Amino acid sequence: MSESAADSRIGVSSGGEPPQLPAAALAVLYPLFCLAPLGLALTQRVAPANTWEYAAAGLGLIGLGAMAVQFVTSGRFGVVSGQLGIDKIMAFHKMAAWWVLVALMLHPLAYVAPTWLENPELGGERLMAYLTLPRYRSGVIALAALTLLVVGSVLRDRLPWRYEFWRASHVILALVAIGGGLHHAVAAGRFSATSALRGFWWAESGAVIVVIAVLYGWRWLILHRRPWRLKSVTKLADRLWELDIAPAPRTPPLNYRAGQFVWLTEGTRRFPLFDHPFSIADSPTRPGLSLIVKEAGDFTRQIGRLAPGTPIGIDGPYGDFTLEELVGESILLLAGGVGIAPSMGLLRDLVARADPRPIRLAYAAGLPENFACLPEIEAAKARLDLQVMLLSEEGGSDWEGLIGRLDHNRLSRMLEGLDPARSVALICGPGPMVTAVSDTLIDLGMPMQKVIYERFDYSGGGASRQDRTRRRRFSGIGAALALGLALFVTFAS
């Protein structure tokens, strides 16, 4: 998603406008917060130590600070993800998890490194002592929980667990890791024995408790106090359903922008642990919400059987797959499979506002029977300057559209008559399609910041050019942490 699409409104369905930090502020605040314990450690005198010990302590302090931030980056807080986009924040969360793990793994190893370099056997014994002495037990438990958490996340798709179970285990392991880490710092840390750092860790503990209370207490309350109701479920295509939901009498309407998404829970399971993200396939000009849902697993497979009147929990809106902040003379909407959901939201909104700009829609699906909303798309041509390209990977006897994928030639044909540099593109579909289409549009002359995409799977797809650019920026933040550590060791020694 584009960083220029910077005005996404995030929050629960109250329509409130929480403040949102720009990416540059986050890039400064993150290292400042993670390095704050090092700064505080330097303000007070502790018994002299050698360079390895300072490095070991520094790694522990940075790792523990950064671990607390992980609760915030995964918590869909508007102040953090509002401007940058939740998918980018999640990408950062994943990368930062590795920094935390590496720092905290190196923490005990750096303590024993000088001994180990002189006498490997003695170094090994010292390490075993660290890992088994009761004094360090909470730290070892924290490290074990963190390791399981990261490994469990990497292997998530291969584990035979329901997504909800993995998510609950992720939260529990994270709490064990931060609780154990903070206890270890206060109980065994040399620098953390000083009043300044002790205060910092207490404040950090309080902040983690508040974050958890908001995520699972406040949001749970809102899901129950501001319910929505299912009005109807309609079958659109093979394993594809459209839900029409409306706010219950005392629930305020959702103040959203076309293309955004919500987290949905249903029935008595209106608890944040059970929520699933779905794009809003609707225009804010219409009251209520339409969602287009594809059967993918346990939750979505039962969506077609939900009875009208079922209470629905809505948390949102989130996301910046929107047109508002994008300046463009023409609009390209590119949808693959159920990626049609936010594209229909955008198209319905363009129709409602009778947008005069040239619009090109490319809609790709695996089979002709997978297409949804085709009559409505056809009807939109009467209200908009709209050209449509339909592509099925496999043909069929009645299929009149194209066969195959959205390749370079087809994308360049879509751009015919338009100025790529003055167009905007919004892509939503399977990970590989998003990556290929995004890179090709940039090859065809579209500016990177005008090519926006939404992936329905936070782990999905190979890296696009935009993903790689973003990773390089994230790595710069990691390098700032490493530099901070080097300065700490230099000044402390």
Ligand X SMILES: Cc1cc2nc3c(=O)[nH]c(=O)nc-3n(C[C@H](O)[C@H](O)[C@H](O)COP(=O)(O)OP(=O)(O)OC[C@H]3O[C@@H](n4cnc5c(N)ncnc54)[C@H](O)[C@@H]3O)c2cc1C
Residues engaged in binding ligand X (CB under 6 A): 157, 163, 261, 275-279, 292-294, 296-300, 319, 338, 341, 454, 456-458
For the four alpha carbons of 442, 446, 450 and 451, in that order, the dihedral sign comes to negative
Nearer to ligand X, 294 or 348 (CB): 294
CB of 296 to ligand X, least distance (A): 4
Torsion sign, CA atoms 399, 405, 411, 413: negative
Q: Which is nearer to ligand X, 137 or 276 (CB)?
A: 276
Structural tokens at position 313: 């929990």
Nearer residue to ligand X within complex by CB, 6 or 444: 6
Distance CA 275, CA 161 (A): 16
When CB distances to ligand X are compared, the closest residue is 297
Q: Are 38 and 485 in contact, with CB atoms under 8 Å apart?
A: yes
Sheet with 402-403, side-by-side order of all strands: 402-403, 385-392, 358-365, 330-336, 423-429, 451-455
Burial status of residue 387 (CB atoms within 10 A of its CB: 0-12, 13-18, 19 or more):
middle
Find residue 333's DSSP bridge partners: 361, 426
CB of 404 to ligand X, least distance (A): 24
Residue 423 φ then ψ, to 5°: -110, 160
- Helix ranges (H only) for 323-385 are 340-352, 374-380
Phi-psi region of 18 (alpha: psi -120 to 50; beta: other; left: phi over 0): beta
For the chain, state the CA radius of gyration. Answer: 25
How far is Cα 69 from Cα 204, in angstroms, rounded to an integer?
A: 9
Q: Which is nearer to ligand X, 130 or 318 (CB)?
A: 318
> What's the min distance (Å) between Cβ of 437 and ligand X?
17
Minimal distance, residue 319 CB to ligand X, in Å: 6
Q: Report, in Å, the least distance between residue 318 CB and ligand X.
A: 7
CB nearer ligand X, residue 52 or residue 299:
299
For ligand X, the closer of residues 2 and 279 by Cβ is 279
Report the 10 Å Cβ neighbour count for 336: 25
Query: Quick one: tokens of 297?
Result: 């697993």
Helix (H, G, I), strand (E, B) or coil at 276: strand
11/13 Cα distance (integer angstroms):
6
Q: Which amino acid is at 44?
A: Q
* DSSP-assigned letter for residue 307: P
Asked if the bond preceding 37 is cis, omega within 30° of 0, the reply is: no
Q: Rounded to whole angstroms, how far apart are CA atoms 470 and 224?
A: 38
